[in-house]
């Protein structure tokens, strides 16, 4: 059974999917509604007010809800859908931690390399603000809480939604596109969008598409989990700014009061670096049959291959 077919190991009644989706994704829905209802000035005022909160305390309050919601998702899958968390995680017999580690290191190395090049090409764009005591607290908070944050996003978007939508529509391309767009929309109220404009949504949706392709081609969440964790950890630990979603005591800080990122700088990672990352992973893990895995049908397996408890 492939990754999407893992959903057939449980009960997939529509009311179960609706209850789980609304309750667990509520934080993302509220985020999007805030983006629609509030004006740009109101959103900016809201983010300005959060800057009065100590950075580490603000980070904790932002990340803790994800731990609660991830626990809720697991409870719904385990006791309402009556299937294992492993079936939500991967099609393999067990989670492959080496895959998580490889994709984690891949994005960490690429991010640090690109930041180093940018820093030495124009060191005036950022300032070194390392404070050992503050950074130590930040590091501890990050390694404890970020796994819950990225865990919720991956298990919800690339896990639960990908599988449940896949078994409903009986194909792979629609859940891939839907989860990627929803992932982007879920980040629409982030301050980067207000600061740099809707072009940033190309990056968020493109990132969702990258993670979705990883999941479908590799038949599991491991690569997406490692990549997402590495990306978010560095976003908190390496460099921060006054207009970023995460206000932290990072090692560096952008000195510009406003973002001056161009559309080209947004498009380059999505159109150039992301395909390179997929190429590296495809060679590493021997991916093949791209057309069927990304656009093929989802067929319910024989009842001899799985057990549904009703």
CA–chain centroid gap for 236, Å, is 14
Spatial neighbors of 91 by CB under 8 A, at least 6 apart, are 1, 2, 3, 5, 6, 219, 220
SS3 content of the chain, % helix, strand, coil (to 5): 70, 5, 25
Low-confidence winner among 1-10, 63-72, 198-207, 212-221 (lowest mean pLDDT): 198-207
pLDDT tens-digit readout, 109-118: 999 999 999 8
- Whose tokens are 């990908």? That residue is 162
Residues 53-60: what's their mean pLDDT? 87
Percent of the chain with pLDDT over 70: 88
> What is residue 302's predicted lDDT score, i.e. its pLDDT?
79
Residues 16-41: what's their mean pLDDT? 83
Gap between the Cα atoms of 139 and 199, Å rounded: 31
Please report which confidence band the pLDDT of residue 199 belongs to, taking 50, 70 and 90 as the band edges. Answer: confident
Gap between the Cα atoms of 30 and 119, Å rounded: 36
The encoded tokens of residue 229 equal: 């964790």
The encoded tokens of residue 206 equal: 């493109």
Beta strands in 40-105 (DSSP E): none
Please report which confidence band the pLDDT of residue 36 belongs to, taking 50, 70 and 90 as the band edges. Answer: confident
> What is residue 258's predicted lDDT score, i.e. its pLDDT?
56
Report whether 112 contacts 120 (CB < 8 A).
no
Residues 287-309: what's their mean pLDDT? 82
Say yes or no to pLDDT of 262 above 70: no
Gap between the Cα atoms of 155 and 152, Å rounded: 5
Residues 173-193: what's their mean pLDDT? 88
Gap between the Cα atoms of 118 and 236, Å rounded: 18
Low-confidence winner among 4-8, 113-117, 264-268, 284-288 (lowest mean pLDDT): 264-268
pLDDT tens-digit readout, 91-114: 999 999 999 999 999 999 999 999
> What is residue 175's predicted lDDT score, i.e. its pLDDT?
98
Please report which confidence band the pLDDT of residue 196 belongs to, taking 50, 70 and 90 as the band edges. Answer: confident
Interior/surface letters 192-220, b for 16+ CB within 10 angstroms, e for the rest? bbbbbeeebbbbbbbbbbbbbbbbbbbbb
Gap between the Cα atoms of 274 and 279, Å rounded: 9
Gap between the Cα atoms of 224 and 37, Å rounded: 32
User: Which range has the top average pLDDT, 34-38, 41-45, 259-263, 296-300?
Assistant: 296-300
> What is residue 261's predicted lDDT score, i.e. its pLDDT?
59
Residues 30-55: what's their mean pLDDT? 71
Beta strands in 29-181 (DSSP E): 126-128
Helix (H) or strand (E) holding 187: none
User: Which range has the top average pLDDT, 124-138, 192-206, 223-237?
Assistant: 223-237
Residues 140-155: what's their mean pLDDT? 97
> What is residue 310's predicted lDDT score, i.e. its pLDDT?
37
178 sits in the region (left: phi over 0; alpha: psi -120 to 50; else beta) called alpha
> What is residue 242's predicted lDDT score, i.e. its pLDDT?
73
> What is residue 60's predicted lDDT score, i.e. its pLDDT?
93
> What is residue 273's predicted lDDT score, i.e. its pLDDT?
93
Beta strands in the chain (DSSP E): 126-128, 239-240, 252-254
Residues 241-251: what's their mean pLDDT? 80
Please report which confidence band the pLDDT of residue 309 belongs to, taking 50, 70 and 90 as the band edges. Answer: very low
Query: Which one, of 125, 85, 134, lies nearest residue 253 by Cα?
Result: 125
> What is residue 102's predicted lDDT score, i.e. its pLDDT?
98
Low-confidence winner among 72-86, 147-161, 193-207 (lowest mean pLDDT): 193-207
């Amino acid at each position: 059974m492939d990754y999407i077919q893992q959903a057939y190991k449980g009960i997939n009644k529509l009311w179960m999917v609706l209850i789980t989706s609304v309750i667990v994704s509520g934080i993302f829905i509220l985020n999007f509604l805030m983006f629609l209802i509030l004006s740009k000035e109101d959103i900016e005022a809201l983010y300005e007010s959060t800057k009065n909160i100590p950075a580490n305390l603000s980070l904790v309050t932002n990340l803790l809800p994800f731990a609660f919601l991830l626990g809720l998702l697991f409870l719904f899958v385990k006791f309402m859908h009556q299937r294992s968390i492993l079936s939500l995680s991967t099609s393999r017999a067990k989670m492959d931690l080496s895959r998580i580690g490889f994709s984690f290191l891949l994005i960490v190395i690429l991010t640090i390399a690109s930041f180093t090049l940018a820093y030495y090409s124009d060191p005036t764009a950022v300032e070194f603000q390392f404070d050992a005591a503050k950074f130590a607290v930040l590091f501890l908070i990050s390694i404890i809480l970020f796994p819950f944050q990225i865990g919720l996003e991956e298990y919800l978007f690339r896990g639960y939604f990908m599988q449940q939508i896949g078994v409903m529509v009986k194909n792979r391309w629609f859940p891939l596109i839907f989860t990627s767009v929803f992932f982007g929309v879920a980040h629409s109220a982030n301050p980067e969008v207000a600061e740099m404009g809707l072009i940033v949504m190309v990056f968020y949706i493109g990132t969702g598409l990258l993670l979705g392709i990883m999941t479908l081609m590799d038949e599991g969440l491991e690569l997406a989990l490692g990549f997402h964790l590495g990306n978010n950890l560095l976003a908190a630990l390496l460099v921060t700014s006054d207009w970023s979603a995460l206000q932290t005591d990072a090692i560096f800080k952008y000195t510009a009061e406003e973002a001056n990122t161009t559309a080209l700088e947004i498009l380059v990672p999505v159109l150039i670096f992301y395909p390179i990352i997929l190429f590296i992973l495809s060679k590493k893990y021997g991916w093949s049959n791209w057309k069927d895995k990304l656009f093929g049908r989802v067929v319910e397996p024989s009842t001899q291959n799985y057990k549904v408890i009703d």
